[in-house]
Amino acid sequence: MNELNHWHPVLLSKALKQKPVGIKLCGREIALFRTKNGEIGAIEDICPHRKMRLSKGWVEGKKLVCPYHGWNYEPNGTGSSPSNPNLKPCAKSFDVKDKHGLIWVKAAGSKANFPNLDFPNYHLVCALEHQVNAPLELLVDINGEIEHAGLGHTFFGHALSQVSEVEVKFDFSDPEVTRIKEIMPQKPLPGVLEKLFTVSSSDRFIDEIEIHFSPVYKTSQLYWENQETGQRRKERLRSVYFFTPISENETKWISLYYITSPRWGMVIFNLLQKQVLKLIMNHEGNREKGVLECIADKHVEFEQMCLGRLDGSLVENRKRIQRIYRGQSQGVPVRELSINIVSSDLQTNAHA
């Protein structure tokens, strides 16, 4: 399975303590455990002896113990049997890392670049998880267009009545990364949010997006500009969304949120700003999860869909998911696709 060759975040680091945790990645059940010296193991969640789930066991020293007969396994999968000292059972192991507050897993020995999450002058506010009953492709779709913000977002982005003012620029010149710039009016915000993020409801809201495909994730740089002067507001946000497939029709959405460096000497303000941002983003994540789970037909093909001017990245993203992430030379069939480009403010660089 080519998808397993990429580094996937599968769990918040703080969730892996003394007890093993069972997770599912691309349909494979995996047991994660932390040894007494802090090393992390990721092995197939099935004991080679009698098929017990190893995640139901416990850790002794540097070994994960099966709760059925006590067979035990090290992080590299090497095992031993109390009743058969000469037997050397072996569980399938995976490469694993603990980095950026997340546990990452990939197929053992596969060559994959690790996502770059170094953002100078930003600091991490929070990491959130949402489990969505929808295929990975649909999560990429909703994160590759801003039209839904009028109804699907409570706070950041345009109001439904302002959707005709939204400008989008697509750049497919890099064969590995889709770039999108979305420019829109900011919908009215509560006064407390205007003060916390030093913005005005008359500002322009701008989202500069990159969608990567090894693994599949999105980075956004979010900021506001004064509509009259074009001056950028001080506060800037960054978000990183990882779309980790649990199964063909279920996806774990792990989100990291960053904000520009805290204000000197304003401890209470900084804490309040971080807590409010966490509440806002968790609220917006739950709203988008609800939208995705209400889609009537979750098949990922585009046949018989009628796409508009703000959907310009969807087809190209599908092709890149197939080519880069799934390792398939043939892209998705698009012969019956209908795309309506109805406004001249759509700008697209040449396709890769």
10-residue averages of pLDDT along the chain (352 residues): 94 96 98 97 97 98 97 97 92 97 97 94 94 98 93 92 95 98 95 90 95 98 93 92 98 96 74 93 96 95 87 95 87 42 43 42
Strand order, beta sheet including 28-34 = 21-25, 28-34, 40-44
Hey, which CATH number is domain 2-107, 3.40.50.720, 1.10.10.10, 2.102.10.10, 3.30.390.50?
2.102.10.10
pLDDT at position 1 is 65
All CATH 3.90.380.10 domain ranges in the chain, comma separated: 122-348
Question: What integer pLDDT is reported at residue 267 of this predicted model?
Answer: 79
**What was the pLDDT predicted at 92?**
97
pLDDT at 235: 85
What pLDDT, on the 0 to 100 scale, is given for residue 330?
A: 52
Per-residue burial over 181-205, b = 16 or more CB atoms within 10 Å of its CB, e = otherwise: ebbbbbbebeeebeebbebebebbb
At 269 the pLDDT is: 80
CATH class of the domain at 122-348: alpha beta
Q: Are 106 and 8 in contact (CB under 8 A)?
A: yes
pLDDT for the residue numbered 336:
37
Q: Are 104 and 96 in contact (CB under 8 A)?
A: yes
Beta bridge partners of 34: 40
Q: What separation, in Å, do the N-terminal and C-terminal C-alpha atoms of the chain show?
A: 25
Beta strands of 198-275 (E only): which ranges? 204-213, 216-225, 232-247, 250-260
Q: Where in the chain is the domain with CATH 2.102.10.10?
A: 2-107
Global pTM reads: 0.90
Query: In 3D, which of 71, 239, 76, 92 has the Cα closest to residue 153?
Result: 239
CA distances from 138 to 89, 133, 187, 202, 269 (A): 41, 10, 25, 32, 37
**How many CB atoms are located within 10 Å of the residue 316 CB?**
19
Tokens of 79: 């095992």
Residue 333: both structure tokens together? 């069939």
Q: CA-CA distance, 310 to 306, in Å (whole number)?
A: 12
Q: What is the largest CA-CA distance in the chain?
A: 78
Angle at the Cα of 323 from the Cα atoms of 319 and 324, rounded to 5 degrees: 115
Q: How far apart are alpha carbons 152 and 246 in whole angstroms? A: 24
